[in-house]
Each structure stands twice: as C-alpha cells, then as structure tokens.
Amino acid sequence: MDNGCIILSTLKTIIQEMSMIKIYEGERISQGAEIHVGCAGLLFDENHEKFLLTKRADNGQWCIPGGHMEPGESVAETVIREILEETGLEVEIVKLIGVYSSPHIKVEYQPGQSMQPVVFNFELRQVGGELGTSDEVTEYGFFSLEELENIDFMSIHKQRIIDALANSDKTFIR
C-alpha cells in the first residue's frame, strides 16, 4: 500500500469517527441541547408484519429511514424527500403513527453538538421508485420485531416500531 492509499484510508477512518452518532439516555439529559425536528417513515410488507429498515453509512446501525426537516418544508414533504433520498422509493403518507420528543434522550452527531430530537413517525405506502442504497444507506431489508434482537439496531427507534405494529387509529404522543 502506497502513502496515498494510507492517507486516504486514515482520512476515511477519521471522517467516520467524527460522524459517529452517539445516543445518551438519562433524566432530562437533553437540557441545553438544540431541538431538531425530524421525520421517519415505516413501510410494511403486505402482511403488515415486517418493516423496512436501512443500515446507516455513518454508524453502521439499522434504523427506520428518515431525517431532519429543512427550512421551508412541511413534515409531510420532509418524510417523502428523506425516503426518496435514502431508499429511492416514492411514497405517500398513510397516517401519522406518533410524535416522539422525550427530554430523556440526547443525540450527539459530532463532539459538542447535541440535540433533542422531535420526530414525526409516519406509516407510508410505496407509489413508485426502486428500492436501493444511497450515500447515507449501505443496506436495506425487511425485518420483524423479533429479528431486531439479531441486528445492531438504533434502540430509540424500537418504541416507534411497536407503536406502528399496534396499527392503532390514535396517534401516539411520546
């Protein structure tokens, strides 16, 4: 391996380490953190038993696809854009499953930059596109709740999945 390859490999490792997401949980731990609005979307198989998860490129963990709301967007536009960017799928909203804003969760995207997420979690239906990977997603797959025990999964997403599988007419506020 020449010096150029070693330097490139070292830079990739440094970038990956800098972008590692860290999740902290504790009593009112998000005090002092910024508030960030995000949207996530669950797509189910035809039996409503398995759901689409994506494997993040930045930390290697499986999660519900979604992301941050950008200025000038609605939450509906955000989830539709994020799913398209991450998976290549065109979707429509079936329903709002829940809103998640626990003050007991803090997410650190970079050292010294933390946030309390406020997430709108939607059930979605595919209307077009082709499922694939992206710059943000290295793998995708459909999983059951039981299969989460066998993968490196972002644990703060589990309640959102449980709520979605309840298939309730009410919106969960957590």
81-129 pLDDT, tens digit each: 999 999 999 999 999 999 999 999 999 877 888 999 999 999 999 999 9
Q: What letter would DSSP give residue 65?
A: S
State the Cα–Cα distance between residues 98 and 120, nearest whole angstrom.
6
CATH of 21-173 among 3.90.1150.10, 3.90.79.10, 3.40.50.620, 3.40.190.290: 3.90.79.10
Residue ranges of alpha helices (H) inside 31-146 are 75-87
Catalytic residues: 139
pTM of the model as a whole: 0.84
Mean pLDDT of 20-37: 90
Q: Which residue has the higher pLDDT, 10 or 51?
A: 51
Q: What is the pLDDT of residue 21?
A: 78
C-alpha closest to that of 78 among 135, 106, 40: 40
* Inter-residue contact 97 to 66 (CB < 8 Å): no
What's the pLDDT tens digit per position in 131-140? 999 999 999 9
State the Cα–Cα distance between residues 6 and 27, nearest whole angstrom.
43
